[in-house]
Amino acid sequence: MASLKSIKKRIVSVKNTRQITKAMKMVSAAKLRRAQENVVAARPYAKKLGEVLQSLAANLEGDVHPLLEKRDAKKLLLIVLTSDRGLCGGFNTNLCKAADRYIKEKADSYEQISVMTIGRKGYEFLKSRYPIYKNFSNILAKPNYQSAAMMGQEVIDGFLAGDYDQVELLFNSFRTVMTQDITFRQMLPVVPEELNVSDETPVEFIYEPSVDELLAEILPKNIEVQLFTAMLETVAGEHGARMTAMDSASKNANEMIGKLTLQYNRARQAAITTELMEIISGSESIKG
Decide if 96 contacts 125 (C-beta within 8 A): yes
Phi, psi of 11 (to 5 degrees): -60, -45
Strands (DSSP E) along the chain, which ranges?
A: 75-81, 112-118, 132-136, 166-176, 179-188
Helix (H, G, I), strand (E, B) or coil at 98: helix
**Residue 192 per-residue DSSP state:** P
Task: Report the alpha-carbon distance of residue 139 to residue 136 in Å, rounded.
Answer: 7
CA angle 161, 79, 219 (to 5 degrees): 55
Bridge partners (DSSP) of residue 134 are 116
Instruction: Return the exposure string of 51-74: e unless at least 16 CB atoms fall within 10 Å of the residue's CB, then b.
Output: eebeebbeeeeeeebebbeeeeee
Pairing between β-strand 132-136 and β-strand 166-176 as defined by DSSP bridges: unpaired
- Which one from 68, 88, 231, 246 is the annotated catalytic residue? 88
Q: What share of the chain is helix, strand, coil (3-state, %, to 5)?
A: 60, 15, 25
Upper half-sphere CA count for residue 78 (Cβ side, 13 Å): 29
88 is an active site residue = yes
> Bridge-partner residues for 79, per DSSP?
116, 169
**Terminal Cα distance for the chain, rounded:** 34
Edge-first strand listing for the sheet containing 132-136:
132-136, 112-118, 75-81, 166-176, 179-188
Active site residue ranges: 88
